[in-house]
Amino acid sequence: MQEDNDARFFLSNTQQFSVRSSILLIHRQSLLLENDAPEVYVPGGAIHFNETAEQAILREAQEELGIALSGPEFAGVLESFWDRDTMQFHQLTMVFRQRVDDVLFNHLQHLNYDHLDVSAQAKMVWYPLTEAARIIQPRKMITFTALGTPLRHEVERD
């Protein structure tokens, strides 16, 4: 949800630039995605002014998932460009990833959404990586899932 100190900037009445952090939570060959139909994306949100990308993803994980992450791995940066209606968007996403053990996996399967900062219709769903690759937005986010790989920089234009 939009907050006062989010790094989202309207450059004009038709252009928005934003900076966000996202977390790829991986359990075996599954990825946790936020299904907010018709959109499906990874948990995360806007970086606040004077907040590091890692601080942002730790805060977002607490707000959206009710969990305290420990040492997420920085995977790289995804630049996304897309249009929706009369708006043009340019977004920089600082991508983090973390392997999830069975205990955390089970916790994340039974979230109480009443106390989390997600839209009313959104649900967190575990998808096999092959299915996630077909539905995730932005599409190139899936390229960051391999743990322990070098930092990446991807660009996606819709």
Report the alpha-carbon distance of residue 68 to residue 65 in Å, rounded: 9
User: At which residue do the structure tokens 């899932």 appear?
Assistant: 145
In the predicted model, is pLDDT for residue 80 greater than 80?
yes
Give residue-wise pLDDT tens across range 94-149.
999 999 999 999 988 887 766 676 666 778 899 999 999 999 999 999 999 998 89
Give residue-wise pLDDT tens across range 25-78.
999 999 999 888 888 999 999 999 999 999 999 999 998 888 899 899 999 999
Instruction: Residues 8-143: name the CATH superfamily.
Output: Nucleoside Triphosphate Pyrophosphohydrolase (3.90.79.10)
Per-residue confidence (pLDDT) for residue 156, from 0 to 100: 97
pTM of this prediction exceeds 0.95: no
User: At which residue do the structure tokens 């839209």 appear?
Assistant: 119
Report the alpha-carbon distance of residue 26 to residue 127 in Å, rounded: 10
- DSSP result, 92-139: EEEEEEEE--HHHHHHHHT--GGGSSS-TT-EEEEEEHHHHHHH-SSG
